[in-house]
């Protein structure tokens, strides 16, 4: 048996093309990152060959002498890094991790309260098209129209009215710090379980650049592939052991079969990397870069939801620029600036053609870029959006920015890429 290039040249060529695309693009997608060579290596190992239903020391298959050690290392590193009593590293990704929370604490039809999708919440927090919105009774909070921020008085009033059994805080397009303590007080008042979904900000929390939900939330859910810079995967954690059995049972056998051991190994590697001083500096630089980019965009007349950012992401409402989010994202991509179009709070346009774009700094910071590069990126974004709005010299501007982006990316090699 040969290498990938010999066995399947078509796929090998596509992987290579994607690697080249990633190398030459300024990735501003807030939920993405580059993993290290070490994380990539762990992901592509023979651990993928092994079935390990169950947990370390209590498996349904023999031959777990090595896998038990891998999973135990991942669990212990998660516990140490986040300061939690319990960690489960088996969820296949963020969505099944969140579904496991429902299975652990709710019965079908029970009420769940989460941030509405158009306000920055995630599908799995009870949105209508998700199983979580179909099989449970969702109640949604949003952000205030005038501030673009969560209003805990509104959250509390809704909680008192609907008495949810489960409350989610956190989300996918929230540019501001999450008040875990405030959410916990509301959850306690209505006797609800508080789940903090830290998928986007796990790396910032690990690096001390965002407050931690530990000691406030009953359960913490996170993906491992965003700011945490690990492989695609997820973890469920809890400050105490109180819910450990319920959470473990919900993941396996409740929702999943065998864990993806190669992913578990890569999560362990990422957690080791995230416990270094270098990673702390990275997390703080992610935030400093987001603030610099926000300043540049504000100075150029962009409208940022909530007026700025406290974390790694910015939500831009392009209404005042006279362009939609989708055509802007498409043109930016042609210029080598990769973003995603996104609804903004109180959006009057449809989700597939919304008013905003979402951008973030985790990936560019992983490449070693700093505030000066953020200002340059802000200037390019302005040029592209202005050209789009005017419909003037669009091709010329795109071509020039594209070549300047290529020059910038060549000076800041991305981790993990050869």
Contact residues for ligand PLP (CB under 6 A)?
31, 93-95, 98, 122, 124, 170-172, 197, 199-200, 223
Cβ proximity to ligand PLP, 117 vs 186, nearer residue: 117
Least CB distance from residue 170 to ligand PLP, whole Å? 6
Nearer to ligand PLP, 93 or 376 (CB): 93
User: By C-beta, is 94 or 354 nearer to ligand PLP?
Assistant: 94
Nearest to 95 by CA among 166, 184, 172, 187: 172
Is 232 catalytic? The answer is yes
Query: Strand pairing partners for 358?
Result: 315, 340
The catalytically annotated residue of 19, 41, 51, 79 is: 51
Helix (H, G, I), strand (E, B) or coil at 26: strand
Contact present, 279 and 206 (Cβ < 8 Å): yes
Question: Shortest Cβ distance from residue 141 to ligand PLP (Å)?
Answer: 15
| Rounded least distance, CB 224 to ligand PLP, Å | 9
Q: Which of 19, 32, 53, 151 is catalytic?
A: 53
| Catalytically annotated residue among 27, 140, 197, 373 | 197
Between 251 and 397, CB nearer to ligand PLP: 251
Point out the catalytic residue in the list 226, 291, 321, 367: 226
**Quick one: which H or E segment has residue 1?**
none
Residue closest to ligand PLP when measured from CB atoms: 94
Beta carbon nearer to ligand PLP, 124 or 343: 124
Catalytic residue, chosen from 222, 223, 224, 227, is 223
348 noted as active-site residue: no
Q: What is the DSSP string of 73-119?
A: HHHHHHHHHHT-SEEE---SSHHHHHHHHHHHH--TT-EEEEE-GGG
Is residue 406 among the annotated active site residues? no
Minimum separation from the CB atom of position 411 to ligand PLP (A): 30
H or E element in which residue 68 lies: helix 67-82
Smallest distance, Å, CB 383 to ligand PLP? 29
Residue 319 falls in the annotated catalytic set: no
Q: Decide whether 32 or 404 has the Cβ nearer to ligand PLP.
A: 32
Burial of 195 (0-12, 13-18, 19+ CB in 10 A): buried
Euclidean distance between CA atoms 200 and 221, whole angstroms = 10
| 245 included as an active-site residue | no
Catalytic residue, candidates 50, 59, 232, 334: 232
Taking the complex as a whole, how short is the minimal distance between the CB of residue 199 and ligand PLP, in angstroms? Answer: 4
CB-nearer residue toward ligand PLP: 32 or 110? 32
Residues 162, 164, 143: CA angle, nearest 5 degrees: 75
Backbone angles phi, psi at 114, to 5 degrees: -150, 170
Eight-state DSSP code of residue 64: -
CB of 99 to ligand PLP, least distance (A): 9
Give 265-317 as a DSSP string.
Answer: HHHHHHHHHHTSHHHHHHHHHHHHHHHHHHHHHHHTT-EEGGGS-SSSEEEEE
Active-site residue, 226 included: yes
Largest CA distance in the chain: 67
Tokens of 139: 């109640």
Q: Mind telling me the catalytic residues?
A: 51, 53, 197, 223, 226, 232
């Amino acid at each position: 048996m040969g290498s990938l290039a010999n066995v399947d040249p078509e796929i090998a060529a596509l992987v290579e093309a994607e690697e080249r695309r990633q190398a030459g693009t300024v990735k501003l997608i807030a939920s993405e990152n580059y993993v290290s060579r070490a994380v990539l290596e762990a992901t592509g190992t023979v651990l993928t060959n092994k079935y390990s239903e169950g947990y370390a020391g209590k498996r349904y298959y023999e031959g777990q002498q090595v896998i038990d050690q891998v999973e135990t290392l991942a669990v212990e590193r998660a516990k140490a890094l986040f300061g939690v009593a319990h960690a489960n590293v088996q969820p296949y990704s963020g969505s099944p991790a969140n579904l496991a929370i429902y299975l652990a604490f709710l019965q079908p039809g029970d009420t769940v309260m989460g941030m509405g999708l158009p306000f920055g919440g995630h599908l799995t927090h009870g949105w209508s098209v998700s199983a979580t919105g179909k099989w449970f009774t969702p109640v949604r909070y949003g952000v205030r129209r005038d501030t673009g921020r969560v209003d805990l008085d509104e959250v509390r009033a809704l909680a008192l009215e609907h008495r949810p059994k489960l409350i989610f805080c956190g989300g996918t397009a929230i540019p501001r710090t999450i008040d875990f303590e405030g959410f916990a007080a509301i959850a306690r008042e209505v006797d609800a379980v508080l789940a903090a979904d830290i998928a986007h900000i796990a790396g910032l929390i690990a690096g001390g650049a965002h407050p931690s939900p530990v000691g406030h939330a009953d359960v913490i859910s996170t993906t491992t592939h965003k700011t945490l810079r690990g492989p695609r995967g997820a973890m469920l954690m809890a400050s105490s052991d109180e819910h450990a059995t319920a959470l473990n049972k919900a993941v396996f056998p409740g929702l999943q079969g065998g864990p993806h051991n190669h992913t578990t190994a890569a999560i362990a590697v990422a957690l080791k990397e995230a416990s270094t001083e270098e990673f702390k500096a990275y997390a703080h630089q992610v935030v400093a870069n987001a603030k610099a980019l926000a300043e540049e965009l504000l100075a150029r007349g962009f409208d940022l939801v909530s007026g700025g950012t406290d974390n790694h992401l910015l939500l831009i409402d392009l209404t005042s620029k006279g362009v939609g989010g989708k055509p802007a994202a498409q043109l930016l991509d042609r210029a080598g600036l990769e973003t995603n179009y996104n609804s903004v709070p109180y959006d009057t346009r449809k989700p597939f053609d919304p008013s905003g774009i979402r951008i973030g700094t985790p990936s560019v910071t992983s490449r070693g870029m700093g505030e000066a590069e953020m200002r340059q990126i802000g200037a390019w974004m302005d040029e592209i959006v202005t050209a789009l709005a005017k419909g003037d010299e669009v091709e010329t501007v795109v071509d020039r920015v594209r070549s300047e982006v290529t020059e910038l990316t060549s000076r800041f090699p991305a981790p993990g890429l050869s």
